[in-house]
Structure 1
Amino acid sequence: MFTQSNNPAAAYRTAGIEAEALGTSPHGLIVMLFNGALLSIKLAKAHMVEGKTSAKAESINKAIDIIGSGLRAALNIKEGGELAQNLDDLYEYVVMLLLKANLNNDPAFLDEAYRLLADVGSAWSELGQKQAASHP
């Protein structure tokens, strides 16, 4: 359903259009991206604990792709100002943690990446609920 593109911004716009066509708002798409990244990190940790190296790497790569091609691509640094820049920096840091987790086979890096994304994702979900409540 979603098309692949070498241009992350174009991929996000296309995904946003497809999501709206399916009845999902752009805000809902971001929530879905957070949920997908978090699930991939959980799976990576389970695979790491079970010693499934290739499955671990695949799950980590999927989380990195969601963060880079989805969450980071959704940011508008010029219009979003300091907040967008801070989120971009955070996403870059989370990607670094995921790479370290894969390289060092250390679940502590996955735990930190998960916690950071879960905090931002939770705030994003709450914002959506507040907006929905104020616009019946």
Structure 2
Amino acid sequence: MYSNEQEGFGPYQQYDLAIQVAAASPHQLVLILFNGLMEELIRVKGHIKARRYEHKAQGINKCIDILNVLSSALDYEKGGQLAHNLANLYDYCVYRLYDGSNKLSVELIEEVESIVGNIHEGWSNMGNAA
């Protein structure tokens, strides 16, 4: 059964996130978005398995919103072909999320999770190299 035990921590988590965002570099902001996306994908899978369809729909919408923000932040002039490739991957992930949501498919959500995980790893490694 779904519990709301963590709801009491919501204001503290939001405050902590606000502090992180305020102090973050652009690179760190992207990592914060990826972390949130990865966490939400995990929740979506749990909602599908537990048949919490309203929560699943809300989670899918959050994931799509994050992917849209990531896509809109791409710099096509500086990023060139890489930026275009990332935009295509983000669009593909959005398509797969809609499909996974409609089919109630954990496997399609896991496909997105894998793609996003690889991109996230690349961003993380880029920060380590700097």
Q: TM (normalized to structure 2)?
A: 0.82
CA contact (8 A) 1:75 1:88 kept: yes
**Which whole-Å CA distance do the structure 2 matches of 1:118 and 1:19 have between them?**
25
Structure 2: stretches of 5+ with no match in the other structure: 1-17
5 Å-filtered alignment, 1:62-73, equals: 62-68=62-68, 70-73=69-72
**Which whole-Å CA distance do the structure 1 matches of 2:90 and 2:21 have between them?**
28
Compare the two structures and name the one with the higher helix fraction: 2
Aligned Cα root-mean-square deviation (Å): 1.6
**Which whole-Å CA distance do the structure 1 matches of 2:129 and 2:70 have between them?**
21
Query: Cα distance 1:93–1:50, how it changes in 2: closer, same or farther (>3 A)?
Result: same
Secondary structure at the aligned position of 2:91 is classed as helix
CA contact (8 A) 2:21 2:29 kept: no
- 1:23 aligns with 23
Question: How far 1:77 moved relative to its partner?
Answer: 1.8
Q: Which amino acid letter does the alignment assign opposite residue 26 of structure 2? A: P
State whether structure 2 residue 4 is matched by structure 1 residue 35.
no
Structure 1 runs (4+) deviating above 6 angstroms are 18-21
Structure 1: stretches of 5+ with no match in the other structure: 1-17, 132-136
- 1:9 aligns with none
**Which whole-Å CA distance do the structure 2 matches of 1:123 and 1:81 have between them?**
17
Q: Percent identity?
A: 32
Question: How far 1:78 moved relative to its partner?
Answer: 3.0
Residues 20-68 of structure 1: CA distance to partner in whole angstroms, max 9, x if unpaired? 9821111000000111111111100000000000000100110000010
- 1:91 aligns with 90
**Which whole-Å CA distance do the structure 2 matches of 1:58 and 1:22 have between them?**
26
**Which whole-Å CA distance do the structure 2 matches of 1:100 and 1:32 have between them?**
25
5 Å-filtered alignment, 1:1-136, equals: 22-68=22-68, 70-131=69-130
**Which whole-Å CA distance do the structure 2 matches of 1:102 and 1:21 have between them?**
30
Aligned residue-pair number: 113
CA contact (8 A) 1:97 1:113 kept: yes
